[in-house]
Amino acid sequence: MYRLIKPIFFKFDPEEVHYFVVKRLKWFHDHFPLGQTILRGSFDVNIKGLEREVFGIKFKNPVGLAAGFDKNGEYIEALSDLGFGFIEVGTVTPLPQPGNDKPRMFRLEDDSAIINRMGFNNKGVDTLAERLRLLKAANSDIVVGGNIGKNKNTPNEDAISDYIKCFDRLFDVVDYFVVNVSSPNTPGLRALQEKEPLMELLNTLQQRNNKNNVSRPILLKIAPDLTNEQLDDIVEIVMSTGIAGVIATNTTIDRSTLQSPEPLKSEMGGLSGKPLTQRSVEVVRYLAVKSNKAFPIIGVGGIHSPKDAQDMLDAGASLVQLYTGFIYEGPGLIKRICKELVKAS
């Protein structure tokens, strides 16, 4: 079915068609008679052999939705019915912000890729926190991660305060946190990946985390463009601060392997999709070997097939996430991955 409608979707602006599709998915889930039943019957996966416990959280399966797809937590229940084992929302910032000027998302069909320069467009942490509070009040068992960042106008020397605001506001309504310092679309943000500022940020959040009777796992999302020496620093930082793990990787600024024509491939922003597959697996494997699997890794980047997911898990990931592969391959990809993982187990 998706093969038939995908060419139609791809005739329209990627950002506009994204919201068109997810809004209708939510309407079908919420208002269409038996909509939820139909979605679950078609896509959901509940197989005990797929259950995983990672950083103290039980996941019904290891395939999650990466941050950026549902920044404001508006479509969590409908997306969960497509089979995802967990949903990561955000990146969210303390204050609402519109993001960068449009157009800011581009399909590179020759490469099965996307370039985006969204710029943390979101409605602010208060709006997200209220939506998640209502979800929790409904006794939802959906595992939700909160991906947090800083506002564009917040200087790096004040960035910690932005992360603290998001952390405190979401603490009671998310299952785990992701610290995003690796997006290429907020000026200066990647400078926070340097060892000293990153240690300070993560230690501050951990101190805040440990003051609570119930702590939340904190993960660090890193860029695929880090050198081995920088990845060595990441391992040291994770071990030193005691955070729960790493998400590898975010989008890349590298364009060296693209087949798409100019000027499309030269658009500013982060590249995701198949060109990232090999590098993301390399980063996951390097971290797993270097750390002797001392902490969990969520593998994301270029997963377009069950084999891609298995390769990521074989490299050392405990869980995987989809975004661009979900767009190119359709919602059936989650179930296909899960079925192949069961066969391989």
Residue 133's pLDDT band (cuts 50, 70, 90):
very high
Residue-wise pLDDT for 309-323, tens only, equals: 999 999 999 999 999
Q: HEC string of 189-213?
A: HHHHHCHHHHHHHHHHHHHHHHCCC
186 annotated to bind ligand: no
CB 269 within 8 Å of CB 115: yes
Mean pLDDT of the chain: 95
Stretch 77-84: mean pLDDT: 97
Catalytic residues: 183
119 annotated to bind ligand: yes
251 annotated to bind ligand: yes
CB 115 within 8 Å of CB 56: no
Q: Is the peptide bond before 217 cis (omega within 30 degrees of 0)?
A: no
User: What CATH number does residue 103 fall under?
Assistant: 3.20.20.70
Residue 132's pLDDT band (cuts 50, 70, 90):
very high
324 annotated to bind ligand: yes
Stretch 80-109: mean pLDDT: 97
Q: Count how many domains the chain has.
A: 1
C-alpha span between 3 and 328 (Å, rounded):
9
Closest CA to 54 of 235, 307, 247: 247
The domain in which residue 198 lies consists of 2-344
Residue-wise pLDDT for 275-327, tens only, equals: 999 999 999 999 999 999 999 999 999 999 999 999 999 999 999 999 999 99
pTM of the complete model: 0.96
Residue-wise pLDDT for 166-214, tens only, equals: 999 999 999 999 999 878 878 777 777 788 889 999 999 999 998 767 8
